[in-house]
């Protein structure tokens, strides 16, 4: 009887011990998964950064509204620095500003106008700068921010610009336009076919035969390319390949076609 009780007691002990370790390992695994999920969700969040001056009726005005990445991670820093550098460049009128921040660039923009107005008070109209940033695409691997700006620094009219900033979320770096493609030349050849069809340029004629202004009569990709929900967007600014009156020329290539050329593909 004693032997029976001893053997069965040991079996129960080892069963409970084994079951305890299995439950402990499962609990540990669930905790790890939960922490990773929370970290992924919280690793990249945004708030709206708004900067504007108290401009009077006939004074230069600056209005900026962009997403600001939060969190002490490299990707947040990469995004914020890229946006800052782009906006400083947009506001840099005399190309001699030493501004290191968006606020500093805004102040320099106003100061540049005031100096010009001091020299030519009867000729200089108040300047205006409006910059708006929007996240237009994001998945687990890629983030694209579109910067829309309107700048008036004198003359007959102001001018609108668009910038597309693409970020590799895995490597936590900004992607240069050429870094988007496995082979730029192959993508360019593919895109020229689409461009000619969309803009009614005959395949047996030069690319400028219908009035476009590509330099050296050769097709090239625009400066601005970005990911969107509908596909890869190619954005030619006014003046880039056509007159200001023609406005921007836009191509959107569905991911079913674009993925063959992209280093980071997107599920359609």
Q: How far is CA 161 from CA 71, 134, 177, 233, 236, in A?
A: 29, 14, 17, 15, 10
Q: Which domains does the chain have, with CATH numbers?
A: 46-175 (3.30.565.40), 179-259 (3.90.640.20)
Residue pair 92/151 in contact (Cβ under 8 Å)? The answer is no
Establish how many alpha carbons lie within 13 A of residue 190's alpha carbon, considering only the half-sphere containing its beta carbon. Answer: 16
Per-residue confidence in pLDDT tens, the chain, 268 aa: 444 444 554 454 444 445 544 445 544 544 444 444 444 445 799 999 999 987 677 789 999 999 999 998 999 999 999 999 999 999 998 766 788 999 999 999 998 888 888 888 776 788 999 999 999 999 999 999 999 999 999 888 888 999 999 999 999 999 998 899 999 999 999 999 999 999 999 999 999 999 999 998 999 999 999 999 999 999 999 889 999 889 999 999 999 999 999 999 999 8
pLDDT at 42: 53
Please name the helix (run of DSSP H) or strand (run of DSSP E) that holds residue 111, with its range, or none: helix 102-119
Question: What pLDDT score does 261 carry?
Answer: 98
Place of tokens 């997107």: 266
């Amino acid at each position: 009887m004693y032997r029976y009780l001893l053997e069965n007691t040991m079996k129960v002990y080892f069963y409970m011990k084994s079951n305890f370790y299995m439950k402990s390992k499962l609990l540990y695994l669930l905790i790890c998964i939960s922490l990773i999920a929370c970290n992924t969700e919280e690793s990249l969040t945004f708030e709206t950064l708004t900067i504007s001056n108290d401009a009077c009726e006939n004074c230069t005005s600056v209005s900026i509204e962009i997403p600001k990445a939060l969190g002490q991670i490299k990707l947040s820093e990469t995004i914020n620095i890229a946006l800052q550098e782009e906006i400083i460049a947009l506001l840099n009128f005399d190309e001699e500003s030493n501004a290191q921040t968006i606020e500093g660039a805004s102040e320099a923009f106003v100061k540049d106008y005031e100096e010009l107005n001091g020299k030519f008070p009867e000729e200089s109209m108040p300047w205006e700068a409006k910059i708006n940033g929007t996240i237009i695409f994001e998945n687990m691997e890629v983030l694209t921010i579109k910067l829309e700006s309107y700048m008036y620094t004198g003359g007959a009219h102001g001018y609108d610009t668009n910038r597309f900033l693409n970020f590799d979320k895995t490597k936590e770096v900004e992607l240069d336009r050429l870094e988007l493609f496995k082979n730029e030349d192959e993508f360019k050849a593919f895109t020229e076919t689409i461009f000619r069809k969309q803009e009614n340029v005959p395949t047996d004629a030069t690319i400028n035969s219908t009035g476009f202004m590509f330099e050296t009569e050769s097709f090239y990709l625009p400066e601005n390319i970005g990911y969107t929900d509908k596909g890869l967007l190619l954005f030619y600014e006014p003046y880039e390949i056509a007159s200001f009156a023609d406005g921007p020329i836009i191509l959107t290539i569905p991911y079913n076609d674009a993925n063959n050329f992209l280093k980071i593909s997107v599920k359609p």
